[in-house]
Amino acid sequence: MNIDQANQSAVEKMISAKPMLKGVATARDVIPGMKDNLILHAGPPLTWARMSGPVRGAMIGAMLFEGLARSEAEATSMAENGEVEFDSCHHHGAVGPMAGATSASMKVYVVENIEHGNKAYSNLNEGYGKVLRYGAYSDDVLKKLRWMNDVLGVALADALAQTDGIDMRALIAEALQMGDEGHNRNKAGSLIYLKTIAPLIVKVVKDDSVAAEVLKFIGDNMLSVLNPVMASCKAMTDAAHGVEGSTIVTTMARNGTDFGIRVSGLGEKQWFTAPAQIPIGKFFPGFTQDDANPDVGDSAITETAGIGGFAMAAAPAIVTFVGGTPEDTMKATLEMYQITTVENANFQIPALNFRGTPTGIDIRKVVETRIAPRINTGIAHKNAGVGQVGAGLVRPPMKIFEDALTEYSKKYKS
Amino acid sequence: MNIDQANQSAVEKMISAKPMLKGVATARDVIPGMKDNLILHAGPPLTWARMSGPVRGAMIGAMLFEGLARSEAEATSMAENGEVEFDSCHHHGAVGPMAGATSASMKVYVVENIEHGNKAYSNLNEGYGKVLRYGAYSDDVLKKLRWMNDVLGVALADALAQTDGIDMRALIAEALQMGDEGHNRNKAGSLIYLKTIAPLIVKVVKDDSVAAEVLKFIGDNMLSVLNPVMASCKAMTDAAHGVEGSTIVTTMARNGTDFGIRVSGLGEKQWFTAPAQIPIGKFFPGFTQDDANPDVGDSAITETAGIGGFAMAAAPAIVTFVGGTPEDTMKATLEMYQITTVENANFQIPALNFRGTPTGIDIRKVVETRIAPRINTGIAHKNAGVGQVGAGLVRPPMKIFEDALTEYSKKYKS
């Protein structure tokens, strides 16, 4: 078996994938294996006992949102007694930023890779501030979630139903020409999304003041498009999974306790995990590095697909948010070419003379170069209910790539 | 008299200007000196006899639009016989891209510099393709102009009436962080504009399908915000005009025949002109350099205010449109620091480590360094009615800076 050929095949699938944002639907109706007493979380599978503060907070919030519990105490007790189930978003074709809390009643984006037929899902983005994904679950947070589900989600569903889908590959490509990297900076992508969907929303939402509110919410939230982008990256990377003999990473995800990866030529639920690191970054006024929770969120699916931290050179302005200098953004992308397999011509970086983004992390190269992938990330407060405290950069522990390579060697006796 | 002090004073006014997009109104109601049989054009003043093809085409189109003439032949005859007047937009506080055709019935943007109280005006942007500003005047062109006046213009007017104005300085600053340079690339700025105005439009336009059409037109036209940006630059540079002893350029404008500049310490209607050059650039399929008209349009007001070609380093992706490499965009901006007075901290370029854009062209420095300003521009076909054939770069003739300096020396006996 030729590993390089297997990797080319896997990466070819990732790159040729054509993710289309097809619709918005209720999670229980579309997400495989979704159940009323199941709450999905980001990252590799995790028990309640090992969950960090913000992830517990988000799970509590989701239980309150679903009406599974009526108070924090009741939710905690149910979780401790196993009366509610938790599972990894990734085991259900889904991804969610930060805690990734996704429950049965929530509206989710439906992305279909029309090249290979697989689908992926992601919840709706709440914007900045006190939000469920950072572990906040106050009445205000739940009220906003209900508005998002009943008003925003319905508007998006009705609007998208008027289309054949939004070409997310084209959207990401254009956003990278406009200073986004697609993970921590989605200003341009969110506006392209607004531009595409605004005329449709106006047609399907009958109440003018509601339509105005929906357009304002999408337009003012610079992360509006993050979740469809993540689902698109999930659809791309899932297409690359399961190629016999491939050493390409098809998932990187964090649950606030562990960092986990999956590899194309290894099992679908075979995670390689180690304790998640604490991101280094810029903190909002009043917070410091000491407040930071270990790395959390499925959003590293963007880096897995070759954007985000891998496309930092496209987004020099991001340093005002994550720290460092514009020169660092160039270095970050250039470094990632050393651990990846191809340059994705669909996603070009103007400042690198339109070089394609570094795509297809090879666990062999990571172990050999000792260069771990770079991930742009938001930083959650370590306590439940506080929210985001900053943004920065993080790398996965080297050990998980070594473990994956060991397992690969066993399986393929190479 | 200290020339440097005078220049600092002029540039300080340009930079501290705070242009707010206050509204949309009918030209005859707001533009000083506007009359029913007056058509404004871009650049320094120009007689019909000396007008190039596309500018004549645009003047004919404006006469047809106003009902001053019923045919091309009648319009031409009226122009030849002096039955219609032409004047420079700049003599009426206005600016228009390319031919700049602005007539009494047209809706125009109203920008107010709330720091110094002066106002500036610009017509609405028609998008790409066959358009009046490139000298096209077919029925389709006129039909679109009527829709823009009666539907789009009314919607924008009603929407802006709901606000205290849109902060254009902030909009330009943000667009420069998103890969725009503000002249030939206004993708991000146009989407920020859409995001700001969309919720307002939904509230004031009662017919949903009309609201959808308006949002689609604004969102799909990557030049939507060019005209308000130009009026904002005009409001900034006008604020810097008339400072005794200053050698700062306060206008650069082309009428398709001549390139003209005005200087802060010289007269308000005192133009220094020489034959306009032909831009060098990339041409649309089927067209070549031979099809290009000499340089035309008031849009060089953006470079006069320190953006556009001066901010090219912010917009590496623009080379797909104007030619050259991303490295050239850095060189372009770096070169402009040699002929300008200050760096405008309001407009920062991420790729240059957030250095402010080079601002305040000093005629002394241009003459001394033999470096003429760089201007990004669209390229018109030399014949009336054809339209845009490409985009590229151009410089003004050196002679006009020498003439201005000679005149300055006479006036100030320096």
Query: In sequence order, what are the residues at sequence separation of 6 or more whose Cβ sits closer than 8 angstroms to the Cβ of residue B381?
Result: B53, B54, B134, B135, B287, B291, B292, B293, B387, B388, B389
What is the CA angle B266-B272-B278, rounded to 5? 145
Task: Tell me whether B323 touches chain A (CB under 8 Å).
Answer: no
Quote the DSSP letter at residue A214: H
Encode pLDDT of B88-141 as tens digits.
Answer: 999 999 999 999 999 999 999 999 999 999 999 999 999 988 899 999 999 999
% chain A with pLDDT above 70:
100
Q: Is the dihedral of CA A387, A388, A389, A393 positive or negative?
A: positive
- Give the integer Cα–Cα distance in Å for B4 and A354: 42
pLDDT of residue A331: 96
Residue B414's pLDDT band, with cuts at 50, 70 and 90, is: low
The answer to whether the Cβ–Cβ distance between B196 and A187 falls below 8 Å is no
The answer to whether the Cβ–Cβ distance between B215 and A192 falls below 8 Å is no
Q: Is the pLDDT of residue A61 over 70?
A: yes
Pick among 3.30.1330.10, 3.40.640.10, 3.40.50.150, 3.90.1710.10: CATH of A14-230: 3.90.1710.10
Residue B297's pLDDT band, with cuts at 50, 70 and 90, is: very high
Encode pLDDT of A182-211 as tens digits.
Answer: 999 999 999 999 999 999 999 999 999 999
Fold of B18-230: Enterococcus faecalis V583 fold (3.90.1710)
Closest residue in B to A218 (Cα–Cα): B195
**From the list A213, A219, A327, which residue is nearest B195 (CB)?**
A219
The answer to whether the Cβ–Cβ distance between B208 and A202 falls below 8 Å is yes
Contact between A69 and A60 under an 8 Å Cβ cutoff? The reply is yes
**From the list A203, A320, A353, which residue is nearest B326 (CB)?**
A353
Encode pLDDT of A344-375 as tens digits.
Answer: 999 999 999 999 999 999 999 999 999 999 99
pTM above 0.95, yes or no: yes
Average pLDDT rounded to a whole number, residues A283-311: 96
**Å between A214 CA and nearest CA of chain B:** 8
Residue A414's pLDDT band, with cuts at 50, 70 and 90, is: low
Task: Tell me whether B15 touches chain A (CB under 8 Å).
Answer: no
Encode pLDDT of B376-393 as tens digits.
Answer: 999 999 998 788 899 999
Q: How many CB atoms lie within 10 A of CB A330?
A: 17
Residue A413's pLDDT band, with cuts at 50, 70 and 90, is: confident
Pick among 3.30.70.3170, 3.90.1700.10, 1.10.10.10, 3.40.50.300: CATH of A242-412: 3.90.1700.10
Chains A, B: CB contacts within 8 A come to 102
Q: Is the pLDDT of residue B1 over 80?
A: no
Q: Which CATH class is domain B241-412?
A: alpha beta
Encode pLDDT of B223-279 as tens digits.
Answer: 999 999 999 999 999 999 999 999 999 999 999 999 999 999 999 999 999 999 999
Domain boundaries, chain B: 18-230, 241-412
- Give the integer Cα–Cα distance in Å for B49 and B57: 13
Q: Is the dihedral of CA B207, B213, B219, B224 positive or negative?
A: negative
One-letter amino acid at A115 equals E
Task: Tell me whether A410 touches chain B (CB under 8 Å).
Answer: no
- Give the integer Cα–Cα distance in Å for B272 and B361: 15
Please indicate whether the domains covering A14-230 and A242-412 agree at the CATH topology level.
no
The answer to whether the Cβ–Cβ distance between B353 and A327 falls below 8 Å is yes
Cα atoms found within 13 Å of the Cα of residue B225, Cβ hemisphere only: 33
Average pLDDT rounded to a whole number, residues B54-72: 97
